[in-house]
Amino acid sequence: MLDIERELKYPLLDDSWLKKILIGGILNIIPVISFLPWGYAYRIFRKTLQGEDVLPLPPWDRWKEDFISGFKIFVLAVLWAVIPLILFKVSALLGLLAVAAAGILFPMALACYAAEERFTHAFRVQHIWQRIRSTRDRYASAWLTCCVLFIVGLFIWRLPVIGYPLGAFLFFYILLVYARLFGLVCRSEQPLPATTETAVETGPEDSSPPSA
């Protein structure tokens, strides 16, 4: 079973967590530049899928790569939102059901995409559903945890004056938890083999002190 309590604390276990989350939160406030935090969280997601230790948190040292990854994830999310948006025009109820279905399927779709980083892999719905069913208890636990976090985040984001800036930092923290939880769940179903590039990258990181 997932240790939800530990994974909620996961972003805070890095000695430099405050600095790294401050950077992510500030970037999250800026339109377009906010693709960077998405790409950073995707890096954690993919490393977790590969079975790597992602503590300390990765340094903010891959700006171009994270921006491109974040933009691709944004495009993927938009594509997954197309059908729910169309159904909303037909019926609000159908639209809500489609949103719920997309929200349930998307984390595993992201894991399928991450395997070879091909967009087509993120839309093999039958395959995605089969993978979810094979780890349904852990998947449901991660999904419900993230739902609660997003609801709390939305509540804080709507607070007057402090809501928007505080929400930007909180949503970056939620992104990290989301990436970690679903990385663990989807890895347990079908591990993603580490690449040569990643193995080279993580070698020195394991023996060096945390850096921002």
pLDDT digits (tens, 9 = 90+) for 22-73: 999 999 999 899 999 999 999 999 999 998 888 889 999 999 999 999 999 9
Asked if residue 160 belongs to a domain, the reply is yes
Q: What is the pLDDT of residues 145-176, one digit of tens each?
A: 999 999 998 898 888 888 888 888 999 999 99
Asked if residue 212 belongs to a domain, the reply is no
Q: How far apart are CA 26 and CA 16, in angstroms?
A: 16
Asked if residue 15 belongs to a domain, the reply is yes
CA angle, 210 as apex, 207 and 212 as ends, to 5°? 140
Element (H, E) at 82: helix 63-90
Closest listed residue to residue 44, CA positions, set 26, 63, 57, 35: 57
186 within 8 A of 131, measured Cβ to Cβ: yes
Band (pLDDT 50/70/90 cuts) for residue 194 is low
Asked if residue 35 belongs to a domain, the reply is yes
Asked if residue 206 belongs to a domain, the reply is no
Q: Can you tell me the mean pLDDT for 130-158?
A: 91
User: pTM (2 decimals)?
Assistant: 0.83
Closest listed residue to residue 76, CA positions, set 110, 103, 40: 110
Mean pLDDT estimate for the chain: 86
Asked if residue 211 belongs to a domain, the reply is no
Q: How far apart are CA 78 and CA 63, in angstroms?
A: 22
Host domain of residue 118: 4-200
Query: Residue 101: exposed, middle, or buried by beta-carbon count in 10 A (0-12, 13-18, 19+)?
Result: middle
Band (pLDDT 50/70/90 cuts) for residue 83 is confident
Identity at 158, one-letter amino acid code: R
Asked if residue 208 belongs to a domain, the reply is no
* Number of domain units in the chain: 1
